[in-house]
A and B are shown apart, each in its own frame.
Chain A
Amino acid sequence: MKANNIFFGDKLRLARLLNGLTQQQLGESISASRQFVHQMESGVKQPAADVLNALCEALQVKDSFFAGPVGNDVKFEQCHFRKRKTTPVGIANRVLAFSTIFEQLVDYINERLELPIVNFPVIGHSSSCYSNSEIELAAEECRKMWGLGLNTPIAKMTRVLENAGVVITQFNGVSEKVDALSLNRKFPIIVRNDAKESVCRMRFDLAHECGHFVLHDGVETGDHITESEANKFASAFLFPRSAFINEFISAKGSRLNWKLIYKLKIRWGMSVKAILYRAHHLDLISAQQYRSGNVHLNKTGQSKIEEHDEDIQPETPELLIHALEILRSQLGISFNHIADYLGVDPSMLSTITGVIPENEEYLENVTPIFG
């Protein structure tokens, strides 16, 4: 950046949060004081050329990153965020910064490619919360709209949502506290934590976020009521009531039929914990059975990773990878070019997208056609 270029302090804040640093930590890494970092972020002071270089290196961005305003700052209340009340501010801010940059990337892709049209049912609803029946109907409406039927397991949850226009990405290393979040501004986006090892949990997370898109557009979420609604939606969407009655009914009895429950888990790609939740919600098992089932899972070390998790087909987001591939192969826009456009290092873009580019070097000399 030339000395006469404008330096936008809010971009410095964004880059700092993206890297999960406090002002103190950033100051230490560039040999400056916390106060000076604060003044740069507030726009009171501009960095000298050597400080700017240090900032770029410490924050994995290019100097062009600071040359424009943020423009699309994602706000906390715009995100559907579980465990909102106990998520430390630093972690929440980092995830929001991540979402802000990711949204810019989707915007860039959307300018060049035709992404699937956003297609969610509109649920007319006026009161502040939903009844169980309304949630059930909303999930069934979604299934009907997307041609999934009401008796069929979903092989790939990621594909279902990507076909409905959702862009999904995964991140790792931020915190186990944030399992997944979603935002529905310009585009519906789901950011999920890669640290989760269970495919079932990931599928449930995606259905949960889908529930927020359908039920909570414009509603601030994160409390036990809205999260419970999204959970009910997720279980109804993954395993509709009509199918559940048909297939779970033989498990009914004084004792839980674990063999059948695990069989259902493998067939429907839904965790045992979620199946028990669903069975209790539909009044097919008693509160005592539900409680003892959960206690059993806890005692047998299955509270996070369950038996037969490995029997569920793993899923990864495809839309984003496919889009980056088309940009590269058909428009000659390489991963590095996109990183340049966003003003971040390719390594940072890789963190944001979860994509590790292959054979990018040879493209460095190619000039993009529509970049």
Chain B
Amino acid sequence: MEEMPWELNPDLTRDRITAIASLIASKRGEVIDLHDEVLGDTPRSLGMRCYECCRTEINQVADSKIWPWLSKLTPEGRFTFCIENTPVRFSRNDPKDLPNKKLVTSFETQKQMDWINKSYPYASIRWFIVFDTFFKNAADAVYCVGYTEMNEIVCQWQIPLEDKVTLISEVNASLPQPVNVEAAPIKLKRQPQQKNSSTDES
């Protein structure tokens, strides 16, 4: 369970997984910026829009060949892309509760997996980039998850999209009372002194 994706499948390098997860997170963020409840947007519309925009983005990047290791496998329906030769899908969910229907592979994926089955011992693993996040957030936690044919998780790696804050604390710290700041001071501006002619004369 503690093995990393790239240890089970050399196509899934750390950099590639992080790059694709960042791409999806960024697109999710852009879509969330446009979420408008006043207009009538709902969690469902947000989810559908996020999915479609991410799918389009991945297809476009794959077409552009910016990342030579990225390609489209099933561009519609059970959308699947390939990292090198390995089929990968994405989903927003709890990795442990990924719906069974989501785990059903596309026809192209099945063909691809049959083809690579001879190359890797773990070729039957189905790989997902899973966004475990509150629907209005871009990415609370993102995982690269591998599922067996029995839908069991064999690998779950949390993708580090942001740096972790170092936790520091004073030892044996008491609970201080709230700090009460005084009201902000204001005073009259000093007026420029007028020249007193009588004083000058004297």
Residues on A lying within 8 angstroms of B by beta carbon are: 84-86, 111-116, 131-133, 136, 146-149, 151-156, 159-160, 162-163, 177, 222-225, 228, 241-243, 245-247, 267, 269, 280-283, 286-288, 290-291, 294-295, 318-319, 322-323, 326, 330-331, 370
B186 touches A159 (CB 8 A): no
Please judge, given known A-B contacts A151-B176, A156-B181, A223-B33, whether A282 and B167 are in contact too, CB under 8 Å.
yes
Q: What residues on B are CB-neighbors of A326 within 8 Å?
A: 186-188
Q: What residues on B are CB-neighbors of A112 within 8 Å?
A: 188-189
Inter-chain CA distance A247–B176, complex, in Å, is: 11
Give the total number of A-B pairs whose CB atoms are below 8 A apart. 143
Inter-chain CA distance A228–B170, complex, in Å, is: 27
* Chain B residue at minimal CB-CB distance from A288: B94
Q: Which of A147, A154, A160, A242 contacts B168 (CB 8 A)?
A: A242
Q: Which of B134, B162, B183 contacts A322 (CB 8 A)?
A: B183
* Chain A residue at minimal CB-CB distance from B191: A370
Asked whether B1 is an interface residue with its Cβ less than 8 Å from the other chain, the reply is no
Asked whether B57 is an interface residue with its Cβ less than 8 Å from the other chain, the reply is no
* Chain B residue at minimal CB-CB distance from A294: B134
Residue contacts A-B, CB under 8 angstroms, 12 given: A113-B186, A132-B164, A133-B165, A148-B179, A154-B181, A223-B29, A241-B167, A280-B140, A283-B165, A286-B141, A326-B187, A370-B191
Inter-chain CA distance A326–B34, complex, in Å, is: 45
Q: Which of B36, B168, B181 contacts A163 (CB 8 A)?
A: B181
Q: What residues on B are CB-neighbors of A177 within 8 Å?
A: 38
Inter-chain CA distance A84–B35, complex, in Å, is: 11
A245 touches B169 (CB 8 A): yes
Q: What residues on A are CB-neighbors of B76 within 8 Å?
A: none
0/1 interface trace, chain B 181-202, chain A, CB 8 Å (1 if under): 1111111110100000000000
The binding surface of chain B is classed by DSSP as loop
Question: What would 8 more interface pairs be, CB under 8 Å, given A114-B188, A319-B183?
Answer: A86-B39, A114-B187, A159-B182, A163-B181, A241-B167, A281-B165, A282-B167, A283-B164
Inter-chain CA distance A133–B35, complex, in Å, is: 29
A85 touches B33 (CB 8 A): yes
Q: What residues on A are CB-neighbors of B34 within 8 Å?
A: 85-86
Interface size for chain B: under 10, 10 to 19, 20 to 34, or 35 or more residues?
35 or more
0/1 interface trace, chain B 1-44, chain A, CB 8 Å (1 if under): 00000000000000000000000000001101111101100000
Inter-chain CA distance A155–B178, complex, in Å, is: 5
Q: What residues on B are CB-neighbors of A322 within 8 Å?
A: 183-184, 186
Inter-chain CA distance A370–B194, complex, in Å, is: 14
B166 touches A133 (CB 8 A): yes
Please judge, given known A-B contacts A155-B178, A331-B188, whether A131 and B33 are in contact too, CB under 8 Å.
no
Closest Cβ–Cβ distance, residue A270 to chain B (whole Å): 12
Q: What residues on A are CB-neighbors of B66 within 8 Å?
A: none
B185 touches A116 (CB 8 A): yes
Closest Cβ–Cβ distance, residue B50 to chain A (whole Å): 12
* Chain A residue at minimal CB-CB distance from B31: A224
Please judge, given known A-B contacts A156-B181, A163-B184, whether A131 and B162 are in contact too, CB under 8 Å.
yes
Closest Cβ–Cβ distance, residue A143 to chain B (whole Å): 9
Asked whether B82 is an interface residue with its Cβ less than 8 Å from the other chain, the reply is no
Please judge, given known A-B contacts A85-B34, A148-B179, A152-B176, whether A246 and B189 are in contact too, CB under 8 Å.
no
